[in-house]
Amino acid sequence: MPTRRKFLEKSTQFAAGAFAASAVAGSSSEAQTPQPIPAKKLNILMRSSWGTDDPTRASFAFSHGLALSDAGHDVQIFLTADATYLMRKETVDVVKPVGWPPLAETMATIVAKHIPVFA
């Protein structure tokens, strides 16, 4: 199994090689624009057991799942223990996390994006 040091050495060698290749290509008469490296699409399962006793932590699975979905990943949310109460609309309407949008807004976006939520 490669160590972190080996990984960093390889990545700096790769970066130096890419820099040298771009310098050679840049010296030609045509300027080339770098092509973005496609990111790998991940399958992510967000699990939470935080309920209404801590509204900020209760909303993390939904807020982070939404951000990951916006980044292009496949997200599923799995609720356990006290978090299962967040499946009720009346409960979601009263959860107001500190520093984050109300859970009702986040949940509406999650439903609109068809992100599966299991309890």
> b/e map of 76-89 (b: 16 or more CB within 10 Å)?
ebebeeebebbeee
Asked if pLDDT for residue 5 goes beyond 60, the answer is: yes
Q: How far is CA 13 from CA 10, 20, 24, 27, 112, in A?
A: 5, 11, 17, 21, 45
The pLDDT mean for the chain works out to: 81
Q: How far is CA 81 from CA 85, 87, 91, in A?
A: 8, 12, 15
What is residue 119's predicted lDDT score, i.e. its pLDDT?
87
Q: Which residues lie across from 79 on neighbouring strands?
A: 48
Asked if pLDDT for residue 28 goes beyond 70, the answer is: no
